[in-house]
Amino acid sequence: MKKILKLVTLSILILGLVFAVGCGGEKAATDEGAVYKVGTDAAYAPFESVAPSGEIEGFDIDIMKAVAAAEGFEVEFINTAWEGIFSSLNGKNDIVISAVTITDDRKKEMDFSEPYFESTNYIAVPQDSAIAAMEDLKGKVVSVQEGTTGDEALTEFLGKDYKDIKRFKGTPEAFLELRNKKADAAVADSGVVGNYVKNNPDANLKIVKDENFPKEFYGIAVTKGNAELLAKVNSGLQKIKDNGEYDKVYSKWFSE
């Protein structure tokens, strides 16, 4: 009797094991249950920021979640400093979504999805500032997040040796410099400047636009050579553009 009981228990155990392994295999094959690490510099509202709850939120975050849901994979967001965010794709993160502009230089280092958002750079200045164009930045102190396309554009326009481009690790610090009157202007992506000026009325800032800042497109980046993941991201992006999910996320974060 005891022997039989033992045998039955053992069979159940083995059955369970076989079942679990079987499921695991199936999951890997369809990618269901795969968890990809997504790096984002979550100090760039409304694209990515840390909510009071501690959770990372924003337009990019919702887009990434929708893409993952459409393709049946999971994502875990990792708050990653902008400096080094691209090299985080060599082992630390599988994906980077961080309002990253697709550029030829960056394409050498990583692979980009199809563009998912159009952007440019705007200048934020005090409401009473005489700065009305990029040209007027000559001789002025300008703050910007280091290593962004805004930094590149300013460096190109004002010159490599221009002393008064103040480069910060994060965009919030660049805005703070402007608010503290230690900079005459701050440059960042259009959506971010728009969001900041609107949500900080006490800062008394206004937006200056200049078409000398080129049109840019954001892409979702994956580790160079990860064609399989890139294909999934592109397929997911297409699906959410087709089924209206993209538009829903867009109106949630850019209401007017």
> Three-class SS of residue 9?
helix
- Binding part of the chain for ligand ARG, among 4-12, 23-31, 142-150, 199-207 by CB under 6 A, reads 142-150
Task: Decide: is 154 part of the binding site for ligand ARG (CB under 6 A).
Answer: no
Task: Decide: is 98 part of the binding site for ligand ARG (CB under 6 A).
Answer: yes
| Contacts of residue 170, Cβ cutoff 8 Å, sequence gap at least 6 | 41, 43, 81, 82, 145
Strands across the sheet with 205-208, in order? 165-168, 142-145, 185-189, 121-126, 205-208
Task: Decide: is 100 part of the binding site for ligand ARG (CB under 6 A).
Answer: yes
| Number of residues this chain uses to bind ligand ARG (CB under 6 A) | 13
Task: Decide: is 71 part of the binding site for ligand ARG (CB under 6 A).
Answer: no
Q: C-alpha angle 223/234/252, rounded to 5°?
A: 105
Query: Is 71 or 94 the residue whose CB approaches ligand ARG more closely?
Result: 94
CA 33, distance to chain mean position in Å, is 23
Applying CB under 6 A, which of residues 113, 129, 143, 171 lies at the interface with ligand ARG? 171
Smallest separation, CB 41 to ligand ARG (Å): 4
DSSP codes of every residue in 219-251: --EEETT-HHHHHHHHHHHHHHHHSSHHHHHHH
Smallest separation, CB 14 to ligand ARG (Å): 50
**How far from 12 is each of 7, 8, 64, CA to CA, in Å?**
9, 6, 41
Applying CB under 6 A, which of residues 36, 59, 77, 82 lies at the interface with ligand ARG? 82
Task: Decide: is 80 part of the binding site for ligand ARG (CB under 6 A).
Answer: no
Near ligand ARG in 10-69, by CB under 6 A: 41, 44, 48
d(CA 173, CA 230): 33
Smallest separation, CB 232 to ligand ARG (Å): 22
Task: Decide: is 99 part of the binding site for ligand ARG (CB under 6 A).
Answer: yes
In the complex, which residues of this chain contact ligand ARG (CB under 6 A)?
41, 44, 48, 82, 98-101, 145, 148-149, 171, 189
